Structure 1
Amino acid sequence: MLQPLVSIIIPTYNRASQIGETIDSVISQSYSNWECLIIDDGSSDYTEDLLDFYCKRNSKIKFYKRDSSPKGAPHCRNIGLDKAQGQFCIFLDSDDILLDFCLEERVKKTKIGEKNDFWVFPMYVKNTYGKYQLMEIPQKESYLEDFLKCKVHWQTMCTLWDINFVRSISGFKENYLRLNDPEIHIRAMVHSIRNYTVFWDSKPDSVYRPAILKVGTNLSFKYYQSLMLFIPDLSSLLKENSLSHLRHNLKGYLNDYLRESFRFISRQNNLRLFMVFYKNRILTFYQLLLLAIQYYLLLGFDVSAKKVRRGIHKLLEL
């Protein structure tokens, strides 16, 4: 029986020191019918020379340069999605690792039961000591509700997509600076209508290496800008699919933002963000009013960020 082709799509930017290990993990797969599409986002290191070397050694590896706007991993992923020839696809970051049995076991699982739109598998997280720790996926009645609450149980590489399905939902949102991963999975779960499988009890088959991100003005502003798009987009998505009763769960993203990021954003912009949550009926007027008053009063008295977070967290539980 002919093995289906799996397309591995990897965006990269100045990761020449790490992407080699990612590519090697693809090459070492026990499953042989794959292609690997790497899309460079304008690297200034030796990425091009390294990838030319890999392409000459293995014809399954294909290297492209982003030649249109916008800059960023989501657009690079969509370029790869457009060029992919596979029946299935997996999106990797340029420091992710696939264990050598990953593709073989995932393709086997696609043959169990009815045809799905996507399949999700557990992963390991590589900690600061270089050890692999299992990131458990809990067994849930509704993964959609958890993702709406900012409880994200898996990362990009955990999902095997039916390529026609992910194309039908237009791939990744290209104007988000952050939140790309939860957004596409929320959109996929809404459009799939439970036609997907989460193998929460399977053996992990990939390794996620979390980047060390220092919360500061730049990272926080990207989060703020993304939320300003993410919240209206998801509210509209839920409304269009008769799921408006779930939008209150999106308060989880406001809670997450208020843990650290709000401290690096101007008061005016924070108030704008609060209004976005209110206008999309995620906060009631009463919650908005109390949130705004508490936010301004606490900051006016120059109390600790921890006390601000504690007070706002209690408010959002109303």
Structure 2
Amino acid sequence: MSNNLSNRSKKLVSIIIPTFNRAHLIGETLDSVLAQTYQNWECIIVDDGSTDNTVEIINAYVEKDSRFQLHHRPIDRLQGGNASRNYGFGLSKGEFINWFDDDDIMIDTFISRKLELFSEAIDLVICSGTYVDQNLNILKNIDLEIQSYLFKDYLLWKFQIITNCVLIRKSFLENKELFNDKILRGQEKDFFSRLFFNLTSDKYEVLNKPLFLYRQHVNTKSHQNLEYVKSFEKSKIIIALENLKKGIQLNDLQLTGTFCFGLLDSFFRGLEQKDFYNCFFIVRKATPQFYSINKKIGIEFFLSACFFILINKGSFKFEKYFKKSLNA
């Protein structure tokens, strides 16, 4: 083993797993952590208030191997995976961080293959994974290929990564906002878009090799997107607004167009659902950004949107007009 590899083998890796009512699956996840060829890890499991016997199962692993730790989300923190992820980060002692989901499976080289690609200049390594069904039957691999640049490809979902994919140098995360626990949908997108913004290609490595199994569930949030849920829509709008700002800063017309269209869709869909709170929120936050792109359209959107809210009715003709104008 070279000196570099030997030095890396001494680095502690913190695996952080938030969990909630996964008694039927988390054992497989923790077994896959135990099976890692790289052995210098700590596994911080943060329970989010499970009501089944998840805690009992985790305790069996804690008793068997001191590298496993069980913690409970403090009651003064918001419920949800994001608060648990952030709490776990605060407890971590590793030089590298990998958040992981409580129903997925690591290949035995999940840590070692990513760790091999780190150098002093690299802050994060991104690996591929494999989509599987609930019984671990293979559906397809995640294909990772940068087509333009990381931030853009990720937001346009041409570079499809999830939390499991990324091993991150802890020092790179210090003094950065982690997972926004007030966002109820799209937390990963919010987190990684902030992490990837202005990240130069010499700061990360991509390993296009599947190193974990990613379970697809029929009842996950991604399969429940047909119903209109105000809180979920608000999260979507917040993320779109922040990334529209970044697209404008980058002067990337494709990104700005994508998020302008998304905000217009959210506005008119909100009108259909009588969700005037989110409609007003879009008018207040999006108008200045539309104005910075096209002054005439920014003013027209503000006046028209206020009128549509007043009459409780949208207009497909105006929606089409705004999208065409913002794309001009």
Whether TM-score is above 0.5 comes out as yes
In structure 2, how many angstroms separate the alpha carbons of the residues matched to 1:209 and 1:98? 11
TM-superposed CA distance for 1:216, in Å, is 5.0
- The structure 2 residue matched to 1:214, chosen from 224, 232, 253, is 224
| Structure-1 residue corresponding to 2:3 | none
In structure 2, how many angstroms separate the alpha carbons of the residues matched to 1:26 and 1:127? 20
- The structure 2 residue matched to 1:280, chosen from 285, 289, 295, is 289
Aligned residue for 2:174, secondary structure, equals helix
Say if 1:34 and 1:273 are closer, same or farther in 2 by CA, change over 3 A. Answer: same
In structure 1, how many angstroms separate the alpha carbons of the residues matched to 2:161 and 2:303? 33
Does the aligned pair in 2 maintain the 1:14–1:44 contact within 8 Å? yes
In structure 2, how many angstroms separate the alpha carbons of the residues matched to 1:45 and 1:181? 26
- Computing the radius of gyration from Cα coordinates, the structure with the larger value is 2
In structure 2, how many angstroms separate the alpha carbons of the residues matched to 1:88 and 1:12? 21
| Structure-1 residue corresponding to 2:127 | 121
- The structure 1 residue matched to 2:150, chosen from 143, 162, 165, is 143
TM-superposed CA distance for 1:272, in Å, is 3.2
Aligned residue for 1:147, secondary structure, equals helix
| Structure-2 residue corresponding to 1:199 | 206
In structure 2, how many angstroms separate the alpha carbons of the residues matched to 1:291 and 1:98? 49
| Structure-2 residue corresponding to 1:175 | 182
Say if 1:280 and 1:162 are closer, same or farther in 2 by CA, change over 3 A. Answer: same
Aligned residue for 1:109, secondary structure, equals coil
What amino acid sits opposite 1:116 in the alignment? Answer: I
In structure 2, how many angstroms separate the alpha carbons of the residues matched to 1:164 and 1:274? 38
Give the TM-score, by structure 2 length.
0.77
Say if 1:245 and 1:228 are closer, same or farther in 2 by CA, change over 3 A. Answer: same
Aligned residue for 2:151, secondary structure, equals helix
- Find out whether 1:69 has 2:101 as its counterpart: no
In structure 2, how many angstroms separate the alpha carbons of the residues matched to 1:256 and 1:228? 8
Aligned ranges 1:222-301 → 2 under 5 Å: 222-234=231-243, 238=246, 243-246=249-252, 249-253=255-259, 255=261, 258=265, 262=270, 264=273, 266-267=275-276, 269-270=278-279, 272-281=281-290, 284=294, 289=300
Does the aligned pair in 2 maintain the 1:117–1:195 contact within 8 Å? no
Deviates more, 1:68-77 or 1:29-38: 68-77
After superposition, the C-alpha distances for 1:183-232 in whole angstroms (9 at most, x for unaligned) are 222222236444432425x3211122233632255x73233221343345
| Structure-2 residue corresponding to 1:19 | 26
- Residue ranges of structure 2 left out of the alignment (5+ in a row): 1-5
- Find out whether 1:190 has 2:163 as its counterpart: no
TM-superposed CA distance for 1:116, in Å, is 0.9
| Structure-1 residue corresponding to 2:88 | 80
Deviates more, 1:224-233 or 1:28-37: 224-233
Deviates more, 1:264-273 or 1:254-263: 254-263
Say if 1:310 and 1:92 are closer, same or farther in 2 by CA, change over 3 A. Answer: farther
After superposition, the C-alpha distances for 1:290-310 in whole angstroms (9 at most, x for unaligned) are 79969969x95999xxx9998
Identity of aligned residues (%): 22
Say if 1:12 and 1:251 are closer, same or farther in 2 by CA, change over 3 A. Answer: farther
Say if 1:243 and 1:85 are closer, same or farther in 2 by CA, change over 3 A. Answer: same
- Residue ranges of structure 1 left out of the alignment (5+ in a row): none
In structure 1, how many angstroms separate the alpha carbons of the residues matched to 2:257 and 2:156? 7
In structure 2, how many angstroms separate the alpha carbons of the residues matched to 1:292 and 1:16? 53
How large is the Cα RMSD of the aligned pairs? 3.7
TM-superposed CA distance for 1:162, in Å, is 0.3
What amino acid sits opposite 2:26 in the alignment? Answer: I
TM-superposed CA distance for 1:170, in Å, is 3.3
Say if 1:250 and 1:76 are closer, same or farther in 2 by CA, change over 3 A. Answer: farther
What amino acid sits opposite 1:224 in the alignment? Answer: E
| Structure-2 residue corresponding to 1:131 | 138
TM-superposed CA distance for 1:160, in Å, is 0.6
Aligned residue for 1:74, secondary structure, equals helix
TM-superposed CA distance for 1:106, in Å, is 1.0
Say if 1:100 and 1:279 are closer, same or farther in 2 by CA, change over 3 A. Answer: same
In structure 2, how many angstroms separate the alpha carbons of the residues matched to 1:125 and 1:105? 19
In structure 1, how many angstroms separate the alpha carbons of the residues matched to 2:148 and 2:204? 12
| Structure-1 residue corresponding to 2:166 | 159
Aligned residue for 1:42, secondary structure, equals coil
Say if 1:73 and 1:245 are closer, same or farther in 2 by CA, change over 3 A. Answer: same
Give the TM-score, by structure 1 length.
0.80
